[in-house]
Each structure stands twice: as structure tokens, then as C-alpha cells.
């Protein structure tokens, strides 16, 4: 089968959406499909075309940036050719260009499946309100034009204003998650470098530094945690500097974080590749995902942590609360409530044996090959319809 995957940002950009798309595209290729990823050349230094892990990546030049999005004038022209050449089109939303691609699929008789990752909430400015309105309109058009929509969980679908409009053509499929197996030497070296043997417990946060991620909730919870565990430390993995559209948020929180850095209670690790992440997780006692709104739909890092035996404390957002509900590895805290977050983290730290799960079962449930097989069944069904 010739599968065309379309999204705004692909690797080497790092986000939950791009990691999902990469894992799924790679799994399709391993299963013998011809896979093309159509995306934007958001960084001019990236090649216009390349092969990555058996997947052909085509990047369309960007003329301008708009908030966290881009404008690529030739996107439609390239999409026309690629949609015609492929058997099925898979689009990742939110995406400004999705309705145009879905319309081409409809005109050419090619099944179009949307994978809806999250609702969009940009920081509150008059311009971002305009951007939100435009993107929501585009997503709605794409939803009407597409043959089917995939979301991570029914919990998120039931609470999403967008997905509730398309309940008749909706299928929940768990996200693909995979992690390298870390060597004992790598785990030990990580522990030595970041003093995780000396400073316990270790609380992990793995995400971009963005306003919707709730970094301030963890900051406000730290005094209560440090009162009980004076040597506790936070290891923050992910881009924290020069995050698109987040400079004001970073500037507001960084003075407080610098104080915790000086005392050894907070360490920024920067972006980590999968091998480095694999060495990080075994050094954690708990992971937290204190996200604030429905731009977070699941939190793939929770499953990565659980695969390494690490429990999670997410906020009670629809979808985000599901990994803990499904696998029992952690506690859910109230959204935006630092006292609730501190209480949940302290409970997990204090009763570690209570939050162990079936790691092998978790790995099997999220295996990218199994997730790709679920998509294949959907594609075949739509092709026969």
C-alpha cells in the first residue's frame, strides 16, 4: 500500500505529535508499505527531500511564520501530485493545510484518515484568537471532508468539542510508543553525571517548555515536596530555551527556576534522543505531566516512563488521565492545583510498591507494529467502502 502522511512539522522537530508520526510512519515502512511524509521545510537548512528509516520525507518551503504555524504557498501544488500517487492519505491535526489535502483525496477517490492529536489553545492575544479561529475552521473543514478520524482515547473524544461533532466516524487507537533498552552502564553513567544516587527522590518532567505544560504548577508544588524530601530534585528534559511562541512564559518563570538550580533542586537536561531518554527514565522515582488544557491529549512520556517501571502523576485532563487509569501506575492530580500535585507526588513516592504495573503488557499494548496494524485494518475497510 502507498501511504501518504501529511503534517506541518516532522523530524527533527520534537513534539509528541512528530514523535507519534515518525513512529507510525516507520512502522508502516517496516510492514512493507511505501510511505511518504509530506511536511514543511520549517528550517531552511533541512533538505527538501530525504530518506529517513525507510520513509521518504518531502519538505515544502516556508514563506512565513504565523504564531506557531507556517505558510507554505506551494503546499497545495505538491499535495495534488502526492495524493494522486498514493492509495491512502493520513493527516495529523491540528494542521492549517489539512482541508485542502482532504479535499484532494475526496476528489481523487483516495481514503483520507485524520489523526487528531489535540485541541489548539494558543496564548491569549488578539492575534492568537484570530489564529485559533482560522485553525479551528480549517480543522472542521478537514473533519467533514475526511472519511474517518482517529483519536487516542474515547475519554478525550467524549470531552473534545471538535471530536464530538464527528462521533459517527471516529475510532480510538492507542498511540505508538517504543523505547530502546538502556544498558546498565548508561543508566549508571547518567546517575553519576546528574547525582541521582545522592539526591533523591528524583521527579522527572519531559516536555517542551510551554505555557500549556503547567511548569509553574510543579514549581509551586516544590516547597511542599522539599519539606518532606529536602534532597529532592527535578530533572527537566526537553527544549526549554527559544521555544517558538513561549519566550514570555519562559522569562516569567526562569528567575524562580534559577534559584532551584543554584540549590541543586532543578536541572535542565535539554533535548534528549531516545537512547538518552532510555537512560533517564530508570533514574526517576516519578514522572509528572501537570498540563493545563486540552492541547495535551495523552502524554506519551507517561507510557515511556511506565515501560521503565516509573509511575506518573498527570493532571486530570481528559485523555491525559487515562494512562494512570488504564495501568494503575500513579495518581491523578487536579488541573492547575499545585497542592493536589504535591499531595499526589508525595503519595506515589511514599508508597512506591503500590504503583507497580505489568510492564510487558504495557509494552505490547503500545507496540508501533500493533498500532500500524490497527491503522491498516481501517485503511482496508475504507478502501472497500
One domain for residues 253 and 348? yes
One domain for residues 49 and 147? yes
Distance from C-alpha of 300 to C-alpha of 304, rounded to nearest angstrom:
7
One domain for residues 210 and 303? yes
Single pTM value for the model: 0.87
The structural domain count of the chain equals 2
One domain for residues 204 and 71? no
One domain for residues 114 and 258? no
Q: Show pLDDT as tens, one digit a residue, over the chain (385 residues).
A: 999 999 999 999 888 889 999 999 999 999 999 999 999 999 999 999 999 999 999 999 998 877 667 888 999 999 999 999 999 999 999 888 999 999 999 999 999 999 999 877 655 666 667 766 777 788 899 999 999 999 999 999 999 989 999 999 999 999 999 999 999 999 999 999 988 877 789 999 999 999 999 999 999 999 999 999 999 999 999 999 888 778 999 999 999 999 999 999 999 999 999 999 999 999 999 999 999 998 889 999 999 999 999 999 999 999 999 999 999 999 999 999 999 999 999 999 999 899 999 999 999 999 999 999 999 999 999 998 7
Kindly report the CATH number assigned to the domain that includes residue 196.
3.40.50.2000
One domain for residues 233 and 371? no
If 0-12 CB within 10 Å is exposed, 13-18 middle and 19+ buried, where does residue 161 land?
exposed
To the nearest 10°, the Cα dihedral for 79, 377, 181, 240?
Answer: 40
One domain for residues 252 and 109? no
Strand order in the sheet with 170-172: 49-52, 55-61, 34-41, 2-6, 88-93, 112-116, 148-151, 170-172
Q: Which domain holds residue 253?
A: 184-364
One domain for residues 170 and 196? no
One domain for residues 347 and 372? no
Distance from C-alpha of 21 to C-alpha of 10, rounded to nearest angstrom:
8
Amino acid at each position: 500500500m502507498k501511504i501518504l502522511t501529511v503534517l506541518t512539522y516532522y523530524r527533527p522537530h520534537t513534539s509528541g505529535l512528530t514523535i507519534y508520526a515518525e513512529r507510525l510512519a516507520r512502522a508502516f515502512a517496516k510492514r512493507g508499505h511505501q510511505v511518504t511524509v509530506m511536511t514543511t521545510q520549517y528550517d531552511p537548512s533541512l533538505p527538501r527531500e530525504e530518506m529517513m528509516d525507510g520513509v521518504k520525507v518531502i519538505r515544502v518551503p516556508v514563506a512565513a511564520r504565523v504564531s506557531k504555524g507556517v505558510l507554505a504557498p506551494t503546499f497545495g501544488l505538491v499535495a495534488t501530485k502526492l495524493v494522486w500517487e498514493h492509495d491512502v492519505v493520513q493527516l495529523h491535526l491540528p494542521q492549517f493545510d489539512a482541508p485542502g489535502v482532504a479535499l484532494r483525496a475526496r476528489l481523487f477517490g483516495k481514503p483520507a484518515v485524520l489523526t487528531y492529536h489535540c485541541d489548539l489553545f494558543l496564548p491569549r492575544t488578539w492575534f492568537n484568537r484570530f489564529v485559533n479561529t482560522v485553525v479551528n475552521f480549517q480543522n472542521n473543514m478537514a473533519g467533514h471532508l475526511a472519511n474517518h478520524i482517529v483519536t487516542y482515547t474515547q475519554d478525550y473524544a467524549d470531552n473534545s468539542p471538535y471530536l464530538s461533532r464527528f462521533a459517527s466516524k471516529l475510532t480510538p487507537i492507542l498511540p505508538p510508543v517504543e523505547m530502546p533498552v538502556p544498558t546498565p552502564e548508561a543508566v549508571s553513567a547518567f546517575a553519576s553525571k546528574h547525582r541521582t544516587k545522592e539526591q533523591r527522590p528524583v521527579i522527572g518532567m519531559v516536555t517542551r517548555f510551554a505555557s500549556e505544560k503547567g511548569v509553574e504548577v510543579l514549581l509551586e508544588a516544590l516547597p511542599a515536596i522539599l519539606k518532606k524530601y529536602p534532597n529532592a530534585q527535578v530533572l527537566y528534559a526537553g527544549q526549554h530555551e527559544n521555544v517558538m511562541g513561549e519566550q514570555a512564559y519562559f522569562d516569567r518563570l526562569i528567575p524562580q527556576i534559577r534559584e532551584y538550580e543554584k540549590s541543586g533542586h532543578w536541572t535542565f537536561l535539554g533535548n534528549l534522543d531516545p537512547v538518552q531518554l532510555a537512560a533517564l527514565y530508570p533514574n526517576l522515582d516519578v514522572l509528572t505531566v501537570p498540563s493545563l488544557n486540552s492541547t495535551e491529549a495523552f502524554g506519551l512520556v507517561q507510557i515511556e516512563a511506565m515501560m521503565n517501571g516509573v509511575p506518573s502523576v498527570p493532571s486530570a485532563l481528559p485523555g491525559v488521565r487515562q494512562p494512570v487509569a488504564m495501568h494503575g501506575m500513579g495518581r491523578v492530580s487536579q488541573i492547575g492545583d499545585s497542592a493536589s500535585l504535591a499531595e499526589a507526588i508525595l503519595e506515589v513516592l511514599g508508597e512506591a510498591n503500590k504503583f507497580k504495573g505489568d510492564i510487558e503488557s504495557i509494552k505490547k499494548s503500545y507496540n508501533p507494529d500493533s498500532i500500524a496494524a490497527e491503522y491498516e485494518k481501517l485503511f482496508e475497510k475504507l478502501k472497500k467502502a
